[in-house]
């Protein structure tokens, strides 16, 4: 198992770019088996991180509601 502790510090965009690079590398078929397994493990961790970041963003967006005057506010006075 690889050390993926650095992933938590990545923005969504950084994690997505890293995941895309891993996918390209795996699709090329040019990696040694052990390197491909390590890349796959990191890719799985990056995917999970991206999903968590998207869920957080979605929750924030859903918390925003429009007031009658057209201004925006957070639900429940958040």
* Torsion angle (degrees, nearest 10) of CA 37, 43, 46, 52: -100
- Residue pLDDT, tens place only, 26-36: 999 999 999 99
Question: How many CB atoms sit inside 10 A of residue 15's CB?
Answer: 22
Phi/psi for 10 (5° steps) reads: -80, 145
- Give residue 78's pLDDT: 47
Above pLDDT 70, what percent of the chain? 85
Rounded to two decimals, what is the model's pTM? Answer: 0.77
User: Which of the 8 DSSP states describes residue 6?
Assistant: G
pLDDT tier for residue 41 given thresholds of 50, 70 and 90? very high
> Contact, 26 vs 40, CB < 8 A?
yes
Compute the distance between CA of residue 48 and CA of residue 53 in angstroms, rounded to an integer: 9
Phi/psi for 25 (5° steps) reads: -65, -40
Q: Which domains does the chain carry?
A: 7-77 (1.10.287)
Mean pLDDT of 44-64: 92
């Amino acid at each position: 198992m690889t050390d993926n502790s650095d992933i938590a510090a990545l923005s969504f965009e950084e994690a997505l770019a890293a995941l895309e690079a891993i996918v390209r590398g795996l699709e090329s078929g040019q990696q040694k088996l052990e390197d491909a397994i390590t890349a796959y493990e990191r890719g799985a961790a990056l995917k999970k991180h991206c999903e968590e970041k998207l869920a957080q963003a979605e929750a924030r967006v859903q918390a925003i509601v429009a007031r009658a005057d057209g201004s925006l506010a957070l639900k429940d006075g958040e």
